[in-house]
Amino acid sequence: MKNQIKNTAAIIILTLFSQSNAFAGEPGKSRMAFIDIDCRNTVVSTTENPVTALTRVELEKSKQFDLLDKYDLEYLIKRDSIKSTNCYSKICMTELGRKLNVEKMFTGSVEVLSDKIIVTFRILDIASGTFEKVQVNEFINVPVEIKKMIVITMNSMFGVANDAALVTALTKKEAFDDAINNPYKLLLRTDGPRMGFTYFTGEAATLIGAKRAEGGFGAQPMMFQFGYQFEKQYLNEGNFQALFEFVPMVTGLDQGLIIPSITLMNGLRNNKNGWEFAFGPTLSFVNKSTGFYDNTNKWHLASDTTNIGYKVSLESRIDSRGELNISPGFVFAFGKTFKSGKLNIPLNAYVIPHNTGVRFGFSFGFNARDRYSTRKEY
């Protein structure tokens, strides 16, 4: 009988001891409770991205405090009939922390102000009734990336280094669009005027500079260009965007000429620094005629066979006296886009190799980024 009493007493003592350990917490860490994040004035917190749940996960992963388990928290609130909803002030949280027998309370808010999402985290010290740590981070308005914003803010609060590229993508309006700061199905389209100069070399430069009576154009090999670039982004992943570009352009207006052209290009743009390259076919509409060169290397039209006592070999070349024809080529372009807010300022150089001489060019322009699909605004 005595042994049974001793065994029963031992079981009771062990049970009480284990229960006390369950609420004792981790040694060396302050005991903390976390209720929720204030998202009352926004719709940032969704079923797919619940702000409070995401914050709790990151807080647990930080291992900075002995965080009261959410199920223990629910049990204590229900058992003691503690009012915990909409409790964000220092007074309310201090009272709540004392009832929960913790040393710290974690709280915060997520707000949408203008085109910014503001994430604020606070740690309240129960003993002093003051916030011992406050971290406020501003992000661009991309609600689907709220988890990354929570991680960045949490890391900033606890002195953990963040990915610099990720921070830039989510905080800088002038950052180049990528899958993080423009995650929607809608794709970028940045159209705008293009202007610059092109320079002809080799035989092409000689023919352009020749007299009109000889089939030339009486022009300088450097000409002004003006056009418009239509650009569409069809892939946007990681550090790069894949682009399709359509560029109609007119050359030679400064010298009384009208040389229209159409260029189609595929390209890649780096999201981090704005460098890009592109390549594709270009079609110029120029006057050409059929003729031949005599023994002195002088050009004659095909109809001009007077005093030619030998068989000639006919060929086609640019000639101001000829008819309008298509002159194909292939362009290689590279450049860099500078940004100022929503304004893009692209600077590009290009080269067009040809059997009559290599052609070089430089262009610049401006455009404002626009979003075309049904993006939901927050």
Q: Which pLDDT score is estimated for 120? A: 96
Confidence of residue 185 (pLDDT cuts 50, 70, 90): very low
Looking at domain 27-171, its CATH class is alpha beta
Q: Which residue is associated with the tokens 């400064």?
A: 254
Reported as a single tens digit per residue, the pLDDT across 234-259 is 887 767 888 899 999 999 999 999 99
Q: Kindly report the average pLDDT of the chain as a whole number.
A: 84
Sort residue 311 into left (φ over 0), alpha (ψ -120 to 50) or beta: beta
Query: Greater confidence, 27 or 73?
Result: 73
Looking at domain 188-371, its CATH class is mainly beta
Q: Which pLDDT score is estimated for 5? A: 56
Q: Which pLDDT score is estimated for 16? A: 45
Q: Which residues contact 109 (CB under 8 A, 6 or more apart)?
A: 37, 38, 39, 88, 118, 119, 120
Cα(59)–Cα(62) distance, rounded to whole angstroms?
Answer: 5
Q: Which pLDDT score is estimated for 186? A: 42
Q: Which pLDDT score is estimated for 179? A: 58
pTM of the prediction? 0.56
Sort residue 90 into left (φ over 0), alpha (ψ -120 to 50) or beta: alpha
Reported as a single tens digit per residue, the pLDDT across 85-117 is 889 999 999 999 999 999 999 999 999 988 899
Confidence of residue 189 (pLDDT cuts 50, 70, 90): low
Q: Which pLDDT score is estimated for 180? A: 62
Q: Which pLDDT score is estimated for 99? A: 93
Q: Which residues contact 37 (CB under 8 A, 6 or more apart)?
A: 45, 51, 52, 55, 107, 108, 109, 110
| Stretch(es) of the chain classified as CATH 2.40.160.20 | 188-371
Contact criterion met (CB below 8 Å) for 209 and 219: yes
Q: For residue 139, which amino acid is it?
A: F
Q: Which pLDDT score is estimated for 8? A: 56
Q: How many CB atoms lie within 10 A of CB 68?
A: 22
Query: Greater confidence, 312 or 2?
Result: 312
* Percentage of residues of the chain with pLDDT beyond 90: 50
Reported as a single tens digit per residue, the pLDDT across 8-54 is 555 555 444 444 444 455 667 899 999 999 998 788 888 878 999 99
- At 238, give phi and psi (nearest 5°): 60, -130
Under DSSP, the state recorded for 105 is: E
| Stretch(es) of the chain classified as CATH 3.40.50.10610 | 27-171
Pairing type for strands 275-293 and 240-251 reads unpaired
Cα(70)–Cα(11) distance, rounded to whole angstroms?
Answer: 28
Task: Name the range with the highest mean pLDDT among 60-74, 178-192, 231-245.
Answer: 60-74
Cα(276)–Cα(292) distance, rounded to whole angstroms?
Answer: 43
Three-state DSSP class for residue 285: strand
Contact criterion met (CB below 8 Å) for 120 and 136: yes
Under DSSP, the state recorded for 144 is: G
pLDDT at 187 over 50: no
